[in-house]
Amino acid sequence: MNIAYLDALPGLRTDIDDELGGDEKGVFTARLSCFGTETDQFLGGHSSRLYLTNRRIIADNTVGLWSVDLVEDVADCEIVERGIPFLKSTVVRVGLNRTVSYGDGHATLQGFRFYLKSKDGERFAALMNGVLG
């Protein structure tokens, strides 16, 4: 994992700067159409935001933050396009190398699907490919 790639990028001001650790900085942010688990269990809607820091992927569904560590948790990342031309949706699938429990332990997930505008999905996937290299 090439975390130095993200460390070299300029930092961005984000709405979650108060949540970031001492050497952590935002490097990407985008509004989500929605996001869910690897099986598309709904986790957040159109007012959700996605953040990539030099240490974590964070999704804010306005109720709470979903956070995974890049080094410890992320296994892979890929873009999946769905639909027909002019009605395509860009989905960035992030696989985890462990199972995460949520909902007071009643549900689990092994990855996320982030629904983004095409240009945002491509930028996020490019950054992740630079890290996962």
Tens digits of per-residue pLDDT, 48-107? 999 999 999 999 999 999 999 999 999 999 998 777 777 777 899 999 999 999 988 899
The one-character DSSP state at 12 is B
Rounded to whole angstroms, what are the CA distances from 90 to 4, 9, 31, 124? 27, 24, 13, 11
Tens-digit pLDDT profile for residues 8-25: 999 999 999 999 988 999
Percent of the chain with pLDDT over 70: 96
Kindly report the pTM of this predicted structure.
Answer: 0.92
